[in-house]
């Protein structure tokens, strides 16, 4: 990739879809690095800054190194959300608590390896106060990356839904005519929980509801519903998380963890990995830990629910085999930006993607 600008033929080869696909299949089994995407807002310049923190493989987790990726101008400190698929990242306004359509904060797709970043065309909502969420995934059958937009329209306590898809390489959004009665198929605890905090794994987006799991396949662009695993307990605050390429559901309470892994999506086969009782001792002052996903070594990456204002953030690596929790502090280099910002983790992603965005 460093020498692709030597001549036109080399540049063309590295952008050929078959070459990109072959490289992804060749590279994935040998991945020995994971990366954590972090964001901070610099008050002095009114900019958001994105950072990549590399996590190296080894018996001992080393202090991650931090690299500046991208700066985004903004007039205020808004909450961003991010989702990753095969090393690409979709960056958008956070859907926590409901987000309204705002063309000043467009949806972007970033390749942290090549530092390419594109801005998707604005997709206007049917109503200016529609709640809007975005979900990013990959269709392995057609080798396509897609962004799903979900609009929720509310009127007198009744909800209706509009779904749109943007395929990378296209010029506009297109609407999906999906007759989905979400309230009937997948009842939620509160109206603000619709389609929030989705998890992508192996071509499918998942959302956890009160009683079932709602899925969206990026291949046929259809919604489906699947039951929760048949287990006696999931504790409080269960979370969906990607574990080693599979969807998992995790519950943490009283220092114990319940972990179920969806081994077979088509046949809905869940496996309880708890061959022994997991005992996760959280750090001091942390009431509970929030799982972010697994890194290349299989260790589970977690963060404390408490936020600390400053130039550092504390993350935790849990080894499911040895039942050991290690903590590491990620910080910004001293020469980077004043310390009047809050550094926050957004998503895990794998390095080495050469997918062209233009």
Same-domain status, 3 and 40: no
> Which pLDDT value is given to residue 186?
57
Query: 25 in helix, strand or coil?
Result: helix
Same-domain status, 81 and 184: yes
Spatial distance between the Cα atoms of 222 and 121, rounded to a whole number of angstroms? 23
Asked whether the predicted pLDDT for residue 185 surpasses 70, the reply is no
Q: What is the DSSP string of 134-148?
A: EEEEEETTTTEEEEE
Same-domain status, 171 and 274: yes
More confident residue, 167 or 304: 167
What mean pLDDT is reported for the chain? Answer: 79
Q: How many structural domains are present in the chain?
A: 2
Tally the residues of the chain.
358
Query: Residue 181 maps to which CATH number?
Result: 2.120.10
Asked whether the predicted pLDDT for residue 274 surpasses 60, the reply is yes
Q: CA 35: distance to chain centroid? A: 12
Query: 258 in helix, strand or coil?
Result: strand
Residue 23 maps to a domain? yes
Find the domain containing 25 and state its range.
1-30
Residue 358 maps to a domain? no
> Which pLDDT value is given to residue 144?
93
Same-domain status, 94 and 8: no
Asked whether the predicted pLDDT for residue 237 surpasses 80, the reply is no
CA angle 242, 85, 74 (to 5 degrees): 110
| Residues 67 and 44 sit within 8 Å (Cβ to Cβ) | no
Helices (H), strands (E): how many in the chain? 3, 25
Residue 272 maps to a domain? yes
| Residues 80 and 93 sit within 8 Å (Cβ to Cβ) | yes
Residue 174 maps to a domain? yes
Same-domain status, 213 and 334: yes
Same-domain status, 65 and 25: no
Same-domain status, 208 and 250: yes
Identify which of 340, 298, 339, 302 has the alpha carbon closest to the alpha carbon of residue 59: 298
Same-domain status, 175 and 227: yes
329-335 contacts: CB < 8 A, separation 24 or more?
Answer: 329/63, 330/36, 330/38, 330/53, 330/63, 330/64, 330/66, 331/66, 332/40, 332/51, 332/66, 333/66
Q: Cβ–Cβ contacts within 10 Å for residue 132, how many?
A: 22
Spatial distance between the Cα atoms of 290 and 306, rounded to a whole number of angstroms? 10
Asked whether the predicted pLDDT for residue 90 surpasses 80, the reply is yes
> Which pLDDT value is given to residue 135?
94
Same-domain status, 182 and 200: yes
Query: 82 in helix, strand or coil?
Result: strand
Calculate what percentage of the chain has a pLDDT beyond 90.
Answer: 22
Same-domain status, 250 and 303: yes
Residue 356 maps to a domain? no
CA angle 102, 36, 350 (to 5 degrees): 100
Residue 278 maps to a domain? yes
**Two tokens, residue 110:** 């970033």
Specify the range with the lowest mean pLDDT, choosing from 29-38, 56-65, 145-154, 222-231: 56-65
Spatial distance between the Cα atoms of 339 and 327, rounded to a whole number of angstroms? 22
Specify the range with the lowest mean pLDDT, choosing from 219-223, 319-323, 352-356: 319-323
> Which pLDDT value is given to residue 190?
42
Residue 60 maps to a domain? yes
Calculate what percentage of the chain has a pLDDT beyond 70.
Answer: 75
Residue 355 maps to a domain? no
Same-domain status, 265 and 320: yes
> Which pLDDT value is given to residue 187?
54
More confident residue, 133 or 1: 133
Same-domain status, 95 and 166: yes
Spatial distance between the Cα atoms of 203 and 209, rounded to a whole number of angstroms? 20
């Amino acid at each position: 990739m460093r020498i692709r600008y030597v001549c036109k033929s080399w540049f063309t080869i590295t952008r050929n879809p078959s070459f990109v696909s072959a490289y992804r299949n060749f590279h994935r089994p040998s991945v020995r690095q994971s990366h954590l995407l972090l964001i901070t807002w610099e008050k002095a310049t009114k900019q958001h800054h994105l950072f990549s923190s590399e996590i190296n493989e080894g018996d001992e987790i080393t202090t991650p190194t931090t690299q500046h990726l991208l700066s985004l101008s903004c007039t205020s400190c808004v909450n961003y959300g991010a989702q990753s698929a095969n090393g690409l990242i979709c960056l958008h306004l956070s859907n926590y608590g409901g987000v309204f359509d705002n063309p000043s904060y467009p949806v972007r797709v970033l390749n942290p390896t090549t530092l390419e970043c594109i801005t998707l065309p604005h997709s206007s909502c049917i109503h200016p106060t529609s709640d809007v969420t975005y979900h990013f995934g990959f269709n392995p059958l057609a080798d396509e990356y897609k962004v799903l937009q979900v609009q929720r329209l509310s009127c007198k306590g009744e909800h209706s839904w509009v779904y749109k898809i943007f395929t990378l390489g296209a010029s506009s959004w297109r609407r999906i005519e999906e007759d989905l009665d979400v309230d009937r198929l997948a009842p939620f605890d509160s109206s603000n929980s619709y389609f929030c905090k989705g998890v992508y794994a192996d071509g499918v987006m998942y959302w956890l509801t009160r009683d079932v799991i709602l899925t969206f396949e990026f291949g046929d662009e259809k919604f489906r519903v699947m039951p929760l695993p048949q287990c006696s307990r999931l504790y409080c605050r269960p979370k969906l998380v990607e574990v080693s390429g599979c969807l998992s559901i995790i519950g943490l309470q009283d220092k114990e963890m319940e972990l179920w892994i969806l081994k077979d999506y088509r046949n809905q086969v869940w496996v309880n990995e708890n061959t022994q009782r997991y005992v996760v001792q959280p750090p001091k002052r942390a009431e509970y830990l929030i799982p972010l996903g697994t890194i290349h070594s299989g260790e589970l990456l977690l963060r404390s629910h408490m936020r600390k204002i400053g130039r550092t953030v504390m993350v935790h690596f849990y080894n499911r085999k040895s039942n050991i929790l290690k903590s590491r502090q990620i910080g910004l280099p001293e020469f980077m930006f004043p310390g009047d910002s809050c550094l926050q983790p957004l998503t895990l992603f794998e390095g080495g993607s050469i997918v062209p965005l233009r």
